[in-house]
Structure formats: C-alpha cells, structure tokens
Amino acid sequence: MTLPAVVPFKPGNPKSRLSCVLDERERSLFAGAMLRDVLAALHGGGCDPYVMSTAPFDLPGERVVVNPAGLNESLNEVLAVTHGPLLILMSDLPLVTPPVVRRLVRTKEDMAIGPGRGGGTNAIFLRAASRFRVDYYQASFLKHLRIAAEQGLSCEVIDSFRLHTDVDEKEDIVELLVHGTGESRRYLEGLGFSLSIDKGRVGVERRKD
C-alpha cells in the first residue's frame, strides 16, 4: 500500500538566507533540486507524494496542487478531509532517504514527528490525519507535541539528523556536501561549492569562475 504524502512548497524567492552565496535564480533552482530529492526519498520509501504549491510550478512527472493559502491554513484544509494516513514532509530536507521515510511511516504510535533544528517540525506522519491540526512557525515542535497530547494521540519522536537538517543557511550546506547523495548536492558542486577548512572549522567555499 502506498501512503499519501504532501510536500508544501513556495516557489517565489525561496531560501533568502542563502542570498550571501546564491543569487535569486540559483536559489530557485536549488530549492527545486531539494524538492526533487525529497520526492525521490518519498517514492523510494513507499509513499505517493504530491506537492502543495502556493503558486503554479512546473515539475514534470510529479503531481502539483496549487493552494495560495498560508502553510497552516492549506495543510489544515487537507487534514480536515483526510481520515486515513498522511505524511507531511518539508521540501528543504535534501538529506532525507527512503529509510528515514520508512522510520516515519512504520511508527507503532498514532503519529510520528521529526523535529527540525531550532525547534521546528520537519515531518509529521499521522495514521488518522483528521484528528490532528498543524501549527507551524516558531517552536512548532513543542506546539505539535502539545496538540498531540490534547488530542489523545500517542507520538513517536523520530531521532534522525537527516530529518533534523533543513538547509536554510550557509552552514547547512556543509551538511549537504558531507552527507548528501542527490541532485541538490550535485547542483551546488556544479556551481563550484566545496568544503573548506578555516581556523580548524569546516565551512564551504565557492570557486570563482
């Protein structure tokens, strides 16, 4: 049985905190490459994913549903009418692999949650989606644990750095160059990114053409 999965995506001016190393067009292409890495992990993990985009977006071979509403509003619309299982996975997780997806969907609890760095929520798997509602932004991981408790839902926290690592800032690119295996790593390497050592600490540098 393939499990439905939704990946929220916002195509306009993505990943602005990477402006120091990528221009707007590059950030847009990089965000698309990360999205395709996430979709590949979902397909490989036995899910049937679709992208919920705030604006029309061309993604050959994948399903895209447009909903211009905010993240919480659009996801809560989906949850309200989904009585079976649903996996919600963010689009900026290029380290996620099929085994990580399987750890989420094979939970023995009512739901599984993957915390993100900085108190965020990178994944939520629900056996009965309509029993939950999301509340993203700020320390959403703690809010989601609270909502689960209020709804009487048992919850497993998935302990995975691949799920924990969202790529928002230059430092996060180190993780992608160390642990990534997909298209988004190849895209950055093609732009000339590589690991660098500065005062004993690992960073990234971009080759000047």
- Per the CB < 8 A criterion, the answer to whether 94 and 184 are in contact is yes
The DSSP secondary structure of 85-115, one letter per residue, reads -EEEE-S--TT--HHHHHHHHT-SSSEEEEE
| Residue closer to a copy of itself (CB basis): 89 or 129 | 89
Nearest to 89 by CA among 50, 46, 142: 50
Does 102 help bind a copy of itself (rule: CB under 8 A)?
no
Q: Beta partners for 47? A: 3
Helix ranges, 1-69 (H): 24-44
Binder among 7, 174, 176, 188 for a copy of itself (CB under 8 A): 174
Size of the site for a copy of itself (CB under 8 A): 29
* Binding segment toward a copy of itself, per CB under 8 A, in 1-9, 38-46, 67-75, 161-169: 161-169
- From CA 105, how far away is CA 111, in angstroms rounded? 8
Q: Judged by CB under 8 A, does residue 66 bind a copy of itself?
A: no
Binding status of residue 201 toward a copy of itself by CB under 8 A: yes
107/165 with CB nearer a copy of itself: 165
Q: Summarize as ranges the residues that interact with a copy of itself (CB under 8 A).
A: 99-100, 115, 117-120, 137-139, 141-142, 159-165, 171, 174-175, 178-179, 195, 197, 200-202
